[in-house]
Amino acid sequence: MLRRGLTPFFRMTCWLALAWFGVLSAHAAPLTLAAASSLRDSMNALVQQFEQQHPEHPVRVVYGSSGKLASQIMHGAPYDIFFSAHADYSDKVVAAGLAGAPPMEWAEGRLVLWHPGHPDLKPEDLSSAAIRHIAIAQPRHAPYGKAAMEVLTRLADDQLQQRLVFGENVGHATQMVQSGAAEVGLIALSVVRGRVLRGTSYTEINPAWYQPLKQTLMLTRQGANHASAQLFLEYLEQREARDLFADFGYLPLTQNGEPIHVAE
Amino acid sequence: MSPNDWQAVWLTLQLGLATTVILLVLATPLAWWLAFSRSRWRTPVQALVALPLVLPPTVLGFYLLLLLGPQGAVGGTLEALGFRHLAFSFTGILIGSVLYSLPFAVQPLAESFRTMGVRPLQIAASLGAGSWDRFRSVVLPLCKGGFIVAATLTFAHTLGEFGVILMVGGSIPGETQVLSVLIYDHTEALNYAAAQRLSLGLLVFALAVLLVVYGFNYREPSRQRHNQQAEQ
């Protein structure tokens, strides 16, 4: 009885295995972007536009803190273009000999204080007893976390250090506030202008209080051989792409790398 | 559900099925040896097999990343031979899953082999059955429950894997972004509705699998007792 029961099972397993290897080897990998978490909603919107205009060039995006993505590239991750929220991390990839082209600064990001339950909160009010947890991204590998630490150091209140909770990246830190676990977060302007949080109130942090968050983009050594990479990079130069990022609060840069302030 | 979600469901099923098939093939001889061997290596091997139960997934993931990556012993050798290294690839997370779920395949099998004992095999051999025939017509039917429990637990445990896959695989859609990793990604994107849907699906599925496993565990011993009484 068992013989009859098992033979078709083995046969089916073999066919499944064959079909599965067929599926795996059939198609070339889509263009793979590695992008800082702060870019998530804007990049998703951009990729959607790009794919509408170029349906024959599929794109997939992996999000994470810039430091984690850089470390993954150095461990051999198959990313074609790397969007870092700070030049430090694209420079690391260059130093490891894994760049396909020099990194390019393309916009400047901004840090904001997001405080869903506390309207009109200013950075100085973080010392108030009502604020028990301040969510920031992990400063060791997330540029927005590092900028947040610079702001907190400037506020010179030792109490604040004990209220810090660390997200793996700016998206994770945002989620800590969104879930109510932390009262406030020091996160990216592009995130509070994102799909879910757009329209909520936030306070911009004085940009002089932290090192500028110059966004860089870079073709990786692997990406230099990808058929869609150049097309995507050209698309980024276009007006509609620039407008899209501006809409999420990114400041475009002049030739000298100075941010251009656009009237809203 | 978005196309990306379906892609992750399909990928997760592929990973679960491949892990289960590979592990049943590898774990059967290993479990047999653990059940009947009197070697002094038995205890160390038993400990090694159980290691993924207590080791943090990050430890396993970290070592695998170093081993399978372009500078690692395995990944570096592959690169030198002109192949791609295995970090951040489906094959990489498959290797991780096989190691991580090893005890879930080996332990139920070893347990059911031990319960069966060597006697039925000796009888079959005395009746002239060859080794393959003994396996097919004695071991498989007598230990059917053990095989089913091993397969379901392995499959279910692979679905529940997170840390190893995140470290070895990154989160590449269609390549290494399985359901557990996608749920994490959805929560980071504040996409709670999508995270909710997938989480609920996994919860129901996991419960169903455990019901199957416990259903078998409950039935098996009672039948064996019945058989023993009949023998007497």
Of B88, B140, B189, nearest to A77 by CB-CB distance is: B88
- With CB atoms and an 8 Å threshold, state whether A32 touches B172: yes
- With CB atoms and an 8 Å threshold, state whether B21 touches A13: yes
- With CB atoms and an 8 Å threshold, state whether B189 touches A3: no
Query: Which element (helix H / strand E) includes B88?
Result: none
pLDDT at A261: 72
Average confidence (pLDDT) over A127-154? 95
Identify the contact set of chain B against chain A, taking CB-CB distances under 8 A: 14, 17-18, 21, 65, 69-71, 75, 85, 87-90, 136-137, 140-141, 144, 170-175, 185, 187-191
- Confidence tier at A24 by pLDDT (50, 70, 90): low
Is pLDDT larger for residue A118 or for residue B228? A118
Chain segment A147-168, per-residue pLDDT in tens: 999 999 999 888 899 999 999 9
CA-based torsion, A98, A145, A111, A136: positive or negative = positive
- With CB atoms and an 8 Å threshold, state whether B172 touches A197: no
pLDDT at A244: 97
Are B88 and A71 in contact, with CB atoms under 8 Å apart? Answer: no
| Cα–Cα distance for residue pair A43/A36, rounded to 1 Å | 10
Identify the contact set of chain A against chain B, taking CB-CB distances under 8 A: 2-3, 6, 13, 16-17, 20, 24, 29-30, 32, 37, 40-41, 60-64, 72, 75-78, 169, 171-172, 174-175, 178, 194-197
| Cα–Cα distance for residue pair B116/B38, rounded to 1 Å | 17
Q: How many CB pairs under 8 A join A and B?
A: 77
- With CB atoms and an 8 Å threshold, state whether A64 touches B171: yes
pTM: 0.86
Residues of A in contact with B175 (CB under 8 A): 29, 78
Q: Which amino acid is at B100?
A: Y
* Chain B nearest-CA residue for A7: B136
pLDDT at A1: 40
| Cα–Cα distance for residue pair B144/A6, rounded to 1 Å | 11
| Cα–Cα distance for residue pair A203/A219, rounded to 1 Å | 34
pLDDT at A26: 47
Residues of B in contact with A25 (CB under 8 A): none
Mean pLDDT across chain A, nearest whole number? 90
Q: Spell out a b/e string for B202-213, using b for 16 or more CB atoms within 10 Å of the CB, else e.
A: beeeeeebeeeb
Q: Would you give the DSSP letter of residue B83?
A: S
Closest by CA to A16, choosing from B132, B31, B180, B20, is B20
Average pLDDT, 10 consecutive residues per value, chain B (232 residues):
93 97 97 95 96 94 94 94 94 97 97 94 92 92 93 93 94 94 94 95 91 75 54 52
A1, A62, A169: best to mutate for the B interface, most B CBs within 10 A: A62
Q: Angle A66-74/A87-95 helices, nearest 10 degrees?
A: 10
Closest by CA to A216, choosing from A16, A29, A96, A39, is A39
Q: Spell out a b/e string for B36-67, using b for 16 or more CB atoms within 10 Å of the CB, else e.
A: eeeeeeeeeebeebeebeeeebeebbebbbeb
Rounded to a whole number, what is the largest CA-CA distance in chain A? 79
- With CB atoms and an 8 Å threshold, state whether A2 touches B14: no
3-state secondary structure chain A: CHHHHHHHHHHHHHHHHHHHHHHHHHCCCCEEEEEEHHHHHHHHHHHHHHHHHCCCCCEEEEEECHHHHHHHHHCCCCCCEEEECCHHHHHHHHHCCCECCCCEEEEEECEEEECCCCCCCCHHHHHCCCCCCEEEECCCCCHHHHHHHHHHHHHCCHHHHHCEEEECCHHHHHHHHHCCCCCEEEEEHHHHCCCCCCCCCEEECCHHHCCCEEEEEEEECCHHHCCCHHHHHHHHHCHHHHHHHHHCCCEEECCCCCECCCCC
- Half-sphere exposure of A86 toward its Cβ, with a 13 Å CA cutoff? 23
pLDDT at A257: 75
